[in-house]
Structure formats: C-alpha cells, structure tokens
C-alpha cells in the first residue's frame, strides 16, 4: 500500500492541526498555517511560487520537501440532468470517479476514498473490480478542489458550487480512515472549504472499529449502508456483516450520534433489490429494527450495470416501502437516480481499477485487521 503514499509533504491533505505541527517543526510562526491553507484552498494555488507572502526560506523548503498534488482529470462528462462525472488519475496510476449532483440550491459532490474496494458488497460495481490502493488525504480533498474550480463560473451567484460532500464514491472510507479523517477536517474547516459538519457525510458499509474511532476524531455526519433488516440477509449482501453484525453496528452508530448531540441523526441507506429485500415483510422488519434509533432513511432503487444479476425494484414496491416506513414515523426519502446516462448513478462508479487484490490475497485480511487496531 505504501507505494502510493507521497514521499514529499502532501500539502493539500494536511488538516489545520497537521499543518500547524509541520510548520512549527520548521520554526514558523502560527499565522503561517493560515496563510498556507488559504493559498491552497481559497486561492487555489497550484505552485509553491504563487505563495508570495510566505517567507523565502519556507518557500525554498517547500520547493524541495513539499508538493501540491491533486488528481489529474482524465475526462469529464455532463449528463442531460446537469450531473457531472470526472474520471481522475490517482497516484497509483488507476483512475477514480467523482460525481457532482446539482439539485436546486444544493450541490452534492460524491467523492471517492479508495481505488476499488475490498468489501465485495454483492450489488456494487466498484466491489466487482477488487482493490487497488488507498487515496491520500490530498487526493480526497483534491477532488473537491477540482470540482470547485470547474464549477466556479457556473455557480457564481452562490458562495460555493459544492454545498454538500458525501464519501459515497468508490471505496470504503473507514478502511482508509488515516487519510479520510484529515480530508474531512479540511472540507469542514473555514481555512479549507468551510462546509458545515452536517453537510459532510462519511458513508460506511459497517466497519465498526472505524466508527468507534470517528467519535474521537470528527463530528461529520455518518451514513450506514444497511441494505437488509436481518443478519442472515445482510451476511449475503454486505459480507462485512459476518464480522460486525447489525446489533453491533447500530450500537456503534447510536454511540456516535449521542456523542454529537444537537439532535443529529444517522442516515440509513437501504438499496432496494427486486425480489431480494424489497418485500412488505422486509419493510416491517426494518421498521421494528430501527424503532427508537435516531435516523433518517434513504431508499435507493438499485441501479443496474452490465453483468449484474440484480434488478431494479418495481415502482409499486418502492412506493409501498416508503409509505410503510413514513407511516411508522420514519423520515424516509427515495433517492432519485441522477446521471444514469453517463453511468454516474449510485453504484455505477467503476473508474479504471487495476485490481491488485488477487495478486495479494491476504490483503482483505490485512485491511480489516488494520481497521481494528
């Protein structure tokens, strides 16, 4: 995994705290942190030379020991509905995808956290490709920086094109927490992108030790990819459930939500797969499972992709599922499919992943045990 980590100081990926540590280690005054972060995230500096108000000495040091590295855009597609998808090259050479979804006053950026994924959720096209590498914090923040720059003119009437960020692109954020946590901190920091903590969402398939760790390090919003109302079915659809079953997962989430206070809720994502988990009995079981749990539910009708054996649920089943849950008092939204004409919809993000998992069969075990440490 280490070969994709930068050798130089990855300036775009340093949280305010890390930047402060790095600069004070160089004997710089605290205000330098503000200057450098503003150059990077407010003034979009692409070269260290541009930072004209930092000392010559620091610039000379950065020239040798630091870099401003964001993923290179390989292609950009725009959907008829305004959704945009970028293919970007990661350090490892493989490519990831980032999607921007405009919805009225809101603009949501769906960001990737890894190239590929080890978790192998049965309905997900990213999982089909295996795992290649972790993204660095700078590459995660870089996706937001690229999107902001591209969209700036088009959304000049508002402060920012991107109002919300969801880590729901390729990868499992909590198996790359070391990079995701500073990246999210920069997104929420006023010296970074200043996005409200309620509007930056980390989504996980259920890496329980990672959720426990989040409690110590961030107050971003949390989404859980639940997808099934019982362990037997979830074990099949989301294999990590065999390691961290539903009761354990919901406990960790409850704990995280309580720690946030301020009536914050967890988003429950539930993909609807025709004939698999979209029946009335599943809706009833789900509402029992989530009774009293502080959540909002997002129902996501399955988006097919070539080679999948699953089907999109009928409109009737989707409507029933939503109405039943709403009737039971749950705030429940159906996520509309956006950008399907450019394969940008949920679960269609494939990137160009050169799979390394098969060359390193022990990887999944290593990745999972690393998350536990």
By C-beta, is 39 or 244 nearer to ligand SAH?
A: 244
Q: Which residues contact 348 (CB under 8 A, 6 or more apart)?
A: 125, 303, 305, 340
Tell me the sheet residues that pair with 296. 267
Active site residue 121: no
Active site residue 124: no
Does 168 help bind ligand SAH (rule: CB under 6 A)? yes
By C-beta, is 92 or 204 nearer to ligand SAH?
A: 204
By C-beta, is 209 or 347 nearer to ligand SAH?
A: 347
Tell me the sheet residues that pair with 207. none
Which entry of 110, 121, 295, 346 is annotated as an active-site residue? 346
Does 95 help bind ligand SAH (rule: CB under 6 A)? no
Is 295 in contact with 265 (CB distance < 8 Å)? yes
Pick one of 193, 302, 321, 330: the residue that binds ligand SAH (CB under 6 A).
Answer: 302
Does 271 help bind ligand SAH (rule: CB under 6 A)? yes
Closest CB 82 distance from ligand SAH, rounded Å: 19
**Ramachandran angles phi, psi of 55, nearest 5°:** -60, 150
Q: Which residues contact 318 (CB under 8 A, 6 or more apart)?
A: 272, 278, 299, 301, 334
Closest CB 362 distance from ligand SAH, rounded Å: 21
Closest CB 187 distance from ligand SAH, rounded Å: 16
By C-beta, is 58 or 350 nearer to ligand SAH?
A: 350
Q: Report strand pairing: 295-301 vs 332-334.
A: parallel
Q: Which residues contact 131 (CB under 8 A, 6 or more apart)?
A: 114, 115, 116, 117, 118, 355, 356, 357, 363, 364, 367
For the annotated catalytic residues, the residue numbers are 97, 346
User: Which chain residues interact with ligand SAH by CB under 6 A?
Assistant: 123-124, 168, 172, 203-205, 225, 269, 271, 300, 302-303, 346-347
């Amino acid at each position: 995994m280490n070969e994709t980590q930068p050798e130089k100081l990855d300036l775009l990926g340093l949280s305010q705290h890390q930047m402060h540590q790095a600069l004070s280690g160089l004997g710089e005054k605290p205000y330098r942190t503000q200057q450098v972060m503003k150059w990077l995230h407010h003034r979009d500096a692409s070269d260290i030379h541009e930072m004209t108000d930092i000392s010559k000495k620091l610039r000379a040091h950065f020239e040798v020991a630091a870099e401003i590295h964001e993923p290179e855009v390989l292609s950009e597609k725009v959907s008829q509905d305004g959704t945009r998808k970028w293919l970007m090259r990661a350090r490892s050479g493989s490519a990831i995808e980032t999607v921007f979804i405009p919805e009225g006053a809101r603009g949501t950026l769906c960001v990737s956290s890894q190239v590929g994924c080890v978790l192998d959720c049965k309905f997900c096209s990213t999982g089909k490709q295996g795992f290649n590498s972790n993204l660095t914090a700078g590459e995660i923040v870089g996706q937001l920086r690229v999107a902001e720059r591209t969209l700036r003119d088009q959304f000049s009437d508002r402060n920012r094109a991107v109002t919300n960020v969801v880590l729901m692109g390729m990868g499992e954020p909590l198996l790359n927490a070391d990079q995701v946590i500073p990246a999210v901190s920069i997104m929420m920091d006023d010296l970074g992108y200043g996005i409200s903590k309620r509007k930056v969402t980390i989504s996980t398939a259920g890496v329980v030790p990672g959720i426990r760790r989040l409690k110590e390090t961030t107050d971003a919003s949390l989404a859980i990819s639940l997808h099934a109302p019982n362990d037997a079915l979830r074990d099949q659809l989301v294999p990590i459930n065999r390691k961290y079953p539903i009761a354990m997962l919901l406990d960790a989430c409850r704990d995280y939500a309580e720690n946030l206070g301020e009536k914050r809720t967890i988003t429950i994502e539930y993909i609807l797969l025709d004939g698999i988990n979209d029946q009335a009995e599943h809706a009833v079981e789900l509402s029992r499972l989530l009774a009293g749990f502080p959540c909002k539910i997002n129902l996501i009708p399955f988006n097919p992709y070539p080679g999948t054996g699953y089907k999109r649920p009928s409109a009737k089943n989707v409507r029933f599922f939503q109405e039943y849950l709403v009737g039971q008092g749950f705030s429940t939204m159906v996520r509309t499919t956006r950008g399907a004409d450019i394969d940008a919809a949920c679960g269609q993000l494939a990137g160009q992943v050169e799979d390394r998992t098969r060359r390193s069969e022990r990887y999944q075990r290593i990745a999972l045990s690393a998350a536990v440490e």
